[in-house]
Structure formats: structure tokens, C-alpha cells
């Protein structure tokens, strides 16, 4: 088994901001997306479409199971905490940094749609 993708439903008012957030912060790039009934984007890490963004007309209708409201967080591994913290500072993103002696350090932050993101870094 391997990871395939995340799917987020976001409002029309937020979709561009959410797309730019993930592109700026994680270096994802917009790529091919098949035609679907809703507007949106597929954001790629290399050849892998890792984040599917779907625009929804009425965000209140997405509170059913399977919507992004039932998603607690997404987690990523990155190699260099200092570089990532510098990027967060440059982008003016608020975050919570947690370091541990016996396990990977973590940073928690929220995207513009309120989705919690965990980023882990190896013990330095």
C-alpha cells in the first residue's frame, strides 16, 4: 500500500487562496485534472497528484461524513525544519513547533480553509 492523494472540498471564495497556500508552502504545482462536475485543481508533487481540491457551491452541505470537516489533519515529512520555519516566517504563517528528544519534531499549522497540517522532521 502507498499513499495516493488528499481530497479537500473548499468554498469558491477560498479555493484560489488554498491552492496558492499549498503551492507556496510545499512546492506543489498545478497539473492535469480530468473534467469533473465541479471546478477545482489537482496539485502535484513530481508526477504524483497529491492534493485534489474541489470547489463546492454550498460549504454547509459538506458536513456529512466524507467531507473535509471529518478530516482531523494531514501529515507530511520534510527534511529540514529550519528551512521550513524560514518559509513559514516569510509567508507569515502562524505555527506551533514541538521538539522532542526521542521522536521526530513537529510543526502544526492551519491552511486558509482551517485544515490542520502536521509536518514532521527527523531527530537532528
For the whole model, what pTM was predicted? 0.73
Q: Is residue 66 part of a domain?
A: no
Secondary structure of residue 98 in the 3-state scheme: strand
Cα distances from 72 to residues 33, 36, 47, 116, in angstroms, run: 25, 26, 26, 7
pLDDT tens readout for residues 59-91: 555 444 444 444 667 888 888 899 999 999 999
CATH of the domain at 100: 3.10.180.10
Q: Are 19 and 30 in contact (CB under 8 A)?
A: yes
Q: Directed axis angle between helix 81-90 and helix 15-26, to 10°?
A: 140
Q: Is residue 94 part of a domain?
A: yes
pLDDT value at 2 more than 70: no
Q: Domain limits at 34? A: 6-57+71-121
Range in 30-44, 50-64, 106-120 the model is least confident about: 50-64
Number of domains into which the chain is organized: 1
* pLDDT attached to residue 71: 65
Q: Is residue 36 part of a domain?
A: yes
Q: Is residue 63 part of a domain?
A: no
Amino acid at each position: 500500500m502507498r499513499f495516493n492523494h488528499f481530497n479537500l472540498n473548499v468554498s469558491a471564495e477560498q479555493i484560489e487562496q488554498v491552492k496558492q497556500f499549498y503551492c507556496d508552502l510545499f512546492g506543489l504545482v498545478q497539473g492535469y485534472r480530468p473534467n469533473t462536475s465541479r471546478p477545482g485543481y489537482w496539485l502535484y508533487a513530481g508526477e504524483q497528484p497529491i492534493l485534489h481540491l474541489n470547489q463546492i457551491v454550498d460549504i454547509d452541505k459538506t458536513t456529512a461524513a466524507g467531507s473535509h470537516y471529518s478530516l482531523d489533519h494531514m501529515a507530511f515529512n520534510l527534511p529540514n525544519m529550519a528551512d521550513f520555519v524560514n518559509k513559514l516566517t516569510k509567508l507569515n504563517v502562524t505555527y506551533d513547533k514541538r521538539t522532542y528528544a526521542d521522536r521526530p519534531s513537529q510543526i502544526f499549522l492551519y491552511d486558509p480553509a482551517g485544515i490542520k497540517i502536521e509536518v514532521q522532521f527527523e531527530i537532528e
